[in-house]
Amino acid sequence: MKTRVVHQTRLVLIACLIAFGLSGISYAQKNGHPPWIWSVAYSPDGGTLASGGTDETIRLWDVATGTLLTTLSGHTDEVYSVVYSPAGSTLASGGRDNKIRLWDVATGTLLATLSGHTDEVWSVAYSPDGGTLASGSTDGTIRLWDVATGELLATLEGHTAGVCGVAYSPDGGTLASGSTDGTVRLWGVAIGSPLATLSGHTDWVCGIAYSPNGPMLASGGGDNVIRLWDVTTGSLLATLSGHTDEDPDSDGDGIWSVAYSPDGSTLASGGSDDTVRLWDVATGDLLATLSGHTKGVTSVAYAPAGGTLASGGYDNNGVRFWDIASYTSGEPTAVAETSWGRIKRGHLQDRVGD
């Protein structure tokens, strides 16, 4: 039921934008639908950003200039998740057409289409060695794929509703998944079976991220809280509260995405309250609230060097780049907005403690 509610929320939001004729569309509309960004991902070298959205395409951007490098077309419906391979030569995408597609980044060529899910693919993640791709779907399963051959290696079953977030541990031995059944599950990749179920969220869980510094996992969901877990013991380490419920009557509200900084000291989160928030992992303190999006934030991603954070959402304003390095040095933080080819400069609108 929760899977259906989250999907219906997306459709309602689309219908509202069409009905009210909102302006400010930042790239060409597809069949009259406003283009939202569901997912953003940096290349391993930090030079390129990929975005996937409602216009059925993946777009690759030059981070330094904001120039659109190429558009990858092939999906026949919305693109929900994009991720670079660890080597950076390949990009994987999953979408509402139930397909996973693998792309050659250098040429823009479609390398393979992975079929097997019977419903929407919400999340894709490469193993640290790049040899395996995990996918989570509203069909309730996680599938593991051999990247080189496109062969289905395993199907992991156990969630009682759709799987909307997957993430590998840094050593590649464990896979974490978040679901609209309200749980986080840990899976042993080698044995293909569940290791633990982490319960505590009271609504769907779509934001999933492993810390680069050890056995810690962050999860965010429809209850508007982030939970930090010790994956070795399964114990809850901390609950981070601060995001607000934009519409108490909507089950689509919540925290859609979480991401650790490369050094693991800070966690970023994007929520339906239109904000990006930065958290001190050690203390659980809210460090900053980054305001600028005018609708919910569906994806956040740190640059590999850690100085910049990218965010995307359904406010039709493109990708925002936040200068986190300026924030941490105590200077006013700048934000650059890539409106599909243009760079606009702005400023952080709210800082904790100011």
What number of H helices and E strands is found in the chain?
2, 29
Domain edges within the chain:
2-347
- pTM here is 0.85
Dihedral-angle region of residue 213 (phi above 0 means left; psi in -120 to 50 means alpha; beta otherwise) = alpha
Contact of 270 with 281, CB cutoff 8 Å: no
Dihedral-angle region of residue 32 (phi above 0 means left; psi in -120 to 50 means alpha; beta otherwise) = left
Return phi, psi of residue 326, to 5°: -65, -40
**What pLDDT score does 345 carry?**
31
Residue 321 and residue 299: Cα distance in Å, rounded?
Answer: 12
Dihedral-angle region of residue 56 (phi above 0 means left; psi in -120 to 50 means alpha; beta otherwise) = left
- Strand, helix or coil at 112? strand
Return phi, psi of residue 6, to 5°: -60, -45
* Residue 320 C-beta-side C-alpha neighbours within 13 Å: 33
DSSP 46: S
Contact of 172 with 127, CB cutoff 8 Å: yes
Residue pointed to by tokens 């809280």: 225
CATH code of the region 2-347:
2.130.10.10
Residue 73 and residue 96: Cα distance in Å, rounded?
Answer: 14
Return phi, psi of residue 17, to 5°: -65, -40
Residue 98 and residue 89: Cα distance in Å, rounded?
Answer: 23
Return phi, psi of residue 187, to 5°: -125, 135
H-helix or E-strand containing 235? Answer: strand 235-241
Contact of 244 with 255, CB cutoff 8 Å: no
Contact of 91 with 102, CB cutoff 8 Å: yes
Count of beta carbons in the 10 Å neighbourhood of residue 68: 15
Tokens of 229: 């877990």
Q: Strands of 255-260's sheet, edge to edge? A: 255-260, 266-271, 275-280, 286-291
Tens of each residue's pLDDT in the chain, 354 residues: 444 444 444 433 333 322 322 222 222 222 322 568 999 999 999 999 999 999 999 999 999 888 899 999 999 999 999 999 999 999 999 999 999 999 999 999 999 999 999 999 999 999 999 999 999 999 999 999 999 999 999 999 999 999 999 999 999 999 999 999 999 999 999 988 899 999 999 999 999 999 999 899 999 999 999 999 999 999 999 999 999 976 454 446 899 999 999 999 999 999 999 999 999 999 999 999 998 888 899 999 999 999 899 999 988 767 899 988 766 554 334 445 554 333 333 222 222 333
Angle at 106 between CA 115 and CA 70, to 5 degrees: 85
* Residue 197 C-beta-side C-alpha neighbours within 13 Å: 10
H-helix or E-strand containing 2? Answer: helix 2-20
| Class of residue 188 by CB neighbours under 10 A (exposed 0-12, middle 13-18, buried 19+) | middle
